[in-house]
Each structure stands twice: as structure tokens, then as C-alpha cells.
Structure 1
Amino acid sequence: MHHAVKGDIPSITAHPPSGAAVYKLEGLAMRNYDGLFAEFARKLSFPEYFGHNWPALEDCLYDMTWGPSASCYLLVINDWPAVLSESELDRPVFTRILSDVGASWAQYPGTPIAFNSLLVGEELRG
């Protein structure tokens, strides 16, 4: 699940619950396809084998066993309007991946795990 919000990042990012993994990504660094993959690889410390493409992003987000285990995950994406602003046709692909990954984690065998995306920033009006 992903939510768009205006204004400051909620306090949960400053004081995450015990066992939670909070990742802050900068939308200004993700204006295009390459920047998006580089920002995810850097901020989430993706494994060396990350392929910098949509299927590889999905694979790494669906299976977070390469990183520290967490009771829940939160992606905070600042400056949301800038994300893929140079490649707007890719934005629906990205939001679908975020939504699908969140839904998949919610059905995790045994105990569902929250995997949410918080999209921070105001959409620009023309």
C-alpha cells in the first residue's frame, strides 16, 4: 500500500517502532529510471546482484532476506512529484510494483508483515 501526503514526514520516521525498517529515499535523485534504481540500491543496501531493472527491483522488495529482518517495512519517498518526472511512462509501473509488494507482504505465510510506501510531496498543478 502507498499513501501520498503533503508536508513534513510523520514522526514515525524519526522514532520507528522496535523492529521496524524505515528507508528514506529522495525523489529528486529518482527523476529517471537509472536514478531510481541507484537510489534504491544505495538506500536499501541492495545485494551486489541487483540488476537495476524493474524485475530486479521487484525481486529484491518481495524477498528482503538479503537484508536485516524486520517486523515491518516503510519506504518514505520524499519529493514524490520529482520521481520519474523525466520518464513519466514508468511511474505507473513503479507504483504498481510498490502496491503489489505491499499486498504480497500482507499475505506473508504465518504472520502478515506490513510493507508500506509513503509518498511525500505535493503534486504540481499546471
Structure 2
Amino acid sequence: MTRSLPASGLQGILSGATPPGLYRLPPAEPPQEVMDLAAEADWRAARLRLDGVHDKAAFLRRCAADLGFPDWFGHNWDALADCLTDLSWWREAGKSRGYLLLAEQWEAFSKAAPADARTAEAVLADAVDFWAEGESPLTVLLG
């Protein structure tokens, strides 16, 4: 499901040389640098900060807060999938070349709530697959 970031790194994803996907971000990649590179490449990017997140409810609350989900978000796995396959809440005027979601402190969340992290990862992977063939793909980096 989740792969290591290929040798081409983030630049490969942003340029289209590497296919969109669900990737592990090496710990040496500073989150703000990832956001800056995405912006320079005309990708819409968001940070999901998972520090202190230890269960499903906290994960979904953090998604809603950090990603700016719409009011209709129902705080369950199905609603998360709905938000990630309908990115109208994330779009701005104009078109982005792609969407990048950086989930920071993923390992800590995964250790604290392994079953919830596996479910979240599956939802994220399904969303990546949903957008893979579109003009503006979604890539998720687990940091």
C-alpha cells in the first residue's frame, strides 16, 4: 500500500515523472520545505499535524481542523472518504496541477493506534487511487 518515496523524491512527483501515490516521506524532509516545493510547482498542499493524536476520533477531528473540511463532514471513515474524493472544499480559483497532503508524525499515530492508522491509510490510498487518472492527482506523504 504505502511505498518509500522513489529516488526522484518529491521533485519527481511534482514534475509528473513519478506517479501520484501514498508514500513515506524521509524524516530529513522539513515539512515547510515540502509545502514550498509544492507551491512552486503549482500544487495545492496541506499539512495534517498528527502530534498528540492517539485514536480515530482525534485523527478525524485533526483532519477537519487542519484540512478545513466543510461543515457536512460527519467525523467517521466514510465521511473522510467523501471529503477526499470530493475536493471541492480544497479547490481555489484556478486549477492546481495536483494536490499534496502531508501527514506529519504518522509513525507516532500508527504506534498509538495501529488499527485506526491502518484504516486511515486505506482511506487515503483509496482517495489517491480515485484521483490518479485525473488532471489534478492527489499524493499523500506520510511523514
Is TM (by shorter chain) over 0.5?
Answer: yes
TM-score interval for Structure 1 and Structure 2 normalised by the shorter chain = 0.7 to 0.9
- Give me the identity figure in percent: 26
2:129 is aligned, of 97, 103, 108, to 103
Q: Is the 8 A contact 2:48 2:66 kept in 1?
A: yes
The answer to whether the aligner puts 1:57 opposite 2:80 as a matched pair is yes
Give the number of the structure with larger relative contact order, counting CA–CA contacts within 8 Å between residues 6 or more apart: 1
Structure with higher helix content? 2
1:53 deviates by 0.5
Measured against aligned partners, the alpha-carbon deviations of 1:57-103 in whole angstroms (never above 9, x if no partner) come to 00000011123243311111111111243321122211111111111
Look up the SS of the partner of 2:57 in the other structure: helix
Q: 39-48 vs 4-13, which deviates more? A: 4-13
The runs of at least 4 consecutive aligned structure 1 residues that moved more than 4 Å come to none
Task: Compute the TM-score of the two structures, normalised by the length of structure 1.
Answer: 0.81
Cα RMSD between the aligned structures?
1.8
**Partner residue in 1 for 2:23:** 3
**Helix, strand or coil for the counterpart of 1:25?**
strand
Equivalent pairs, count: 117
- CA displacement at 1:41 relative to structure 2: 0.6
Q: Distance in 2 between matches of 1:3 and 1:99?
A: 10
- Residue 18 of structure 1: how far off its partner (Å): 5.1
Structure 2: which 5+ residue stretches go unaligned? 1-20
Contact persistence 1:27–1:81 (CA under 8 A)? no
